[in-house]
């Protein structure tokens, strides 16, 4: 049951018992009260009650109201950039994504972009992408060793693993480049020369959609609230892509118990206090995060440990479980932010704000009823439980 439904039952329950008591004490009151008008009364109430603070939404003071004469959002800025990894062949799909984030957010906030690729972006790509924004845009080449499979990886063993995954029809199971990408996103993008100067990043992928206006600055909100990681969609990982990952996580923690945060979100990752991984992770094609966390001692040691196990190539470890496990264990749970406000779609899933007021204020184009949050494959109910909602 989601939070809204639980809340509804709770309030309904309270109203019914209140009326039940009144029905005994005040005879007339009991007679005019039918179940129907209790329900309609409740619906009116939910719309009128301000629910912002209760549901951990971004407070109103962070919103910059649109100004028809000067649409630049006033206020503080964070040291932040959009970071985009893509190929020359992603041109039309990345144009779509940039166009949408510009329209919904960045035309008012003007954060710079860094686009990265393991081969040079061609002139046509740079020209067509640069015209989409007045913000600064830089195009970078990824250093060879940050991208390609290291020499010490046993290629026969890696080939064998890929073959096996193909026979099991695991998505991208046979792909070397997908593995390079997952390893790069796990451990290297934040070390790139063009990215180093920034603290915060917002990851954008080709062909994603932003379904609502974002009239607040997520970076500034996160900085103010000491958040290190933000997500919009949480789901289960394919077990077969990470058969031994959790064992290595536990080995790492045995070596470095000092990195585990006191108030961590282990219960998001595990249903048995850490014995097994329940496969929940934040879907990393959307990420807003503090790179100081990835650059810090805990994550550096964690990534180096995972890298030394070779699982990015001998299995198919994704950057999503790697990032999520680190954020959930090495940060306090209140440092992880769920942005209900940000309507987001990466095929085949969409997050649409569940808060009705937010959804209307953001002029969203998504359908709340079809939001992935309510899907059986979503880990959102686990997250809600972890943070006590
Ligand atoms: N430069 C470069 N970027 C890549 C490569 N493979 C993937 N990417 C980028 O890495 C990100 C993730 O890759 P995707 O192909 O979107 O993987 P996914 O999101 O798991 O799967 P789908 O989007 O469903 O295909 C995207 O931003 C891609 O543009 C590659 O070989 N080279
Ligand atoms: C628009 O507003 C921004 C932020 O308040 C300000 O820095 C800028 O100078 C304004 N531009 C004009 C043309 O007034
Ligand atoms: Mg993608």
- How far apart (Å, rounded) are the C-alpha atoms in residues 235 and 166? 23
Q: In this predicted structure, what is the pLDDT of residue 382? A: 97
Residue 66 banded pLDDT, cuts 50, 70, 90: confident
The pLDDT of residue 44 is above 50: no
- How far apart (Å, rounded) are the C-alpha atoms in residues 245 and 313? 12
Q: In this predicted structure, what is the pLDDT of residue 45? A: 36
Q: If you take atom 13 of ligand 2, which residue's CA is the nearest one?
A: 70
> Tokens standing for 328?
């959930």
Q: Which atom number of ligand 1 is nearest to the Cα of residue 85? A: 27
Gap from CA of 291 to ligand 3 centroid (Å): 21
- How far apart (Å, rounded) are the C-alpha atoms in residues 134 and 249? 43
Find out whether 363 and 253 touch, Cβ atoms under 8 Å: no
What's the mean pLDDT in 84-105? 98
The pLDDT of residue 285 is above 60: yes
pTM, to two decimals: 0.87
Gap from CA of 70 to ligand 3 centroid (Å): 35
- How far apart (Å, rounded) are the C-alpha atoms in residues 250 and 312? 17
Go through the domains of the chain in sequence order and give each one's CATH number: 74-387 (3.90.550.10)
Gap from CA of 75 to ligand 2 centroid (Å): 10
- How far apart (Å, rounded) are the C-alpha atoms in residues 312 and 219? 30
Q: Is 287 a catalytic residue?
A: yes
162-202 pLDDT, tens digit per residue, is: 999 999 999 999 999 999 999 999 999 999 999 999 999 99
Backbone angles phi, psi at 358, to 5 degrees: -60, -40
224-244 pLDDT, tens digit per residue, is: 999 999 999 999 999 999 999
Q: In this predicted structure, what is the pLDDT of residue 65? A: 86
**Which of 72, 77, 134 to probe ligand 2 with, by most ligand atoms within 8 A of CB?**
72
Q: In this predicted structure, what is the pLDDT of residue 13? A: 53
Gap from CA of 71 to ligand 2 centroid (Å): 8
What's the mean pLDDT in 32-56? 40
Q: In this predicted structure, what is the pLDDT of residue 69? A: 92
**Which of 205, 287, 317 to probe ligand 1 with, by most ligand atoms within 8 A of CB?**
205
pLDDT above 90 covers what percent of the chain? Answer: 84
- How far apart (Å, rounded) are the C-alpha atoms in residues 282 and 294? 16
Q: In this predicted structure, what is the pLDDT of residue 380? A: 97
| Residue with token string 């009151």 | 29
Options 237, 287, 315, 345, the catalytic residue:
287
Residue 289: helix, strand or coil by DSSP? Answer: strand
């Amino acid at each position: 049951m989601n939070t809204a439904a639980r809340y509804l039952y709770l309030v309904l329950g309270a109203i019914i018992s209140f009326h039940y008591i009144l029905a005994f004490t005040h005879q007339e009151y009991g007679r005019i009260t039918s179940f129907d008008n209790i329900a309609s009364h409740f619906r009116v109430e939910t719309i009128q009650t301000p629910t912002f603070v209760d549901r951990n939404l971004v407070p109103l003071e962070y919103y910059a109201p649109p100004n028809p004469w000067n649409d630049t959002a006033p206020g503080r800025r964070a040291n932040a950039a959009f970071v985009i990894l893509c190929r020359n062949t992603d041109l039309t799909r990345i144009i779509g994504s940039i166009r949408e984030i510009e329209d919904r957010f960045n035309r008012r906030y003007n954060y710079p972009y860094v686009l990265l690729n393991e081969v040079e972006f061609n002139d046509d790509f740079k020209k067509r992408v640069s015209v989409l924004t007045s913000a600064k845009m830089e195009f970078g080449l990824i250093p060879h060793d940050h991208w390609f499979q290291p020499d010490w990886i046993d290629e026969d063993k890696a080939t064998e693993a890929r073959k096996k995954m193909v026979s099991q029809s695991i998505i991208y199971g046979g792909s070397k480049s997908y593995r390079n990408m997952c390893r790069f996103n796990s451990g290297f993008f934040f070390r790139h020369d063009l990215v180093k100067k920034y603290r915060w990043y917002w990851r954008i992928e080709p062909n994603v959609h932003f379904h609502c206006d974002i009239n607040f600055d997520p970076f500034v909100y996160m900085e103010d609230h000491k958040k290190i990681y933000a997500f919009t969609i949480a789901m289960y990982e394919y077990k077969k892509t990470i058969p031994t990952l959790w064992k290595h996580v536990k080995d790492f923690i045995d070596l470095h118990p000092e990195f585990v945060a006191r108030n961590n979100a282990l219960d998001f990752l595990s249903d048995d206090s850490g014995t097994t991984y329940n496969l929940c992770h934040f879907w990393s094609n959307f990420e807003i995060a503090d790179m100081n966390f990835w650059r810090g001692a805990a994550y550096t040691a964690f990534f180096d440990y995972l890298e030394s196990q070779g699982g990015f190539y001998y299995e198919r470890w994704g950057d999503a479980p790697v990032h999520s496990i680190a954020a959930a264990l090495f940060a306090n749970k209140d440092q992880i932010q769920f942005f209900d406000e940000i309507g987001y779609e990466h095929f085949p899933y969409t997050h649409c704000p569940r808060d009705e007021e937010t959804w209307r204020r953001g002029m969203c184009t998504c359908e709340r009823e079809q939001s992935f949050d309510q899907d059986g494959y979503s880990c959102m109910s686990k997250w809600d439980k972890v943070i006590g909602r």
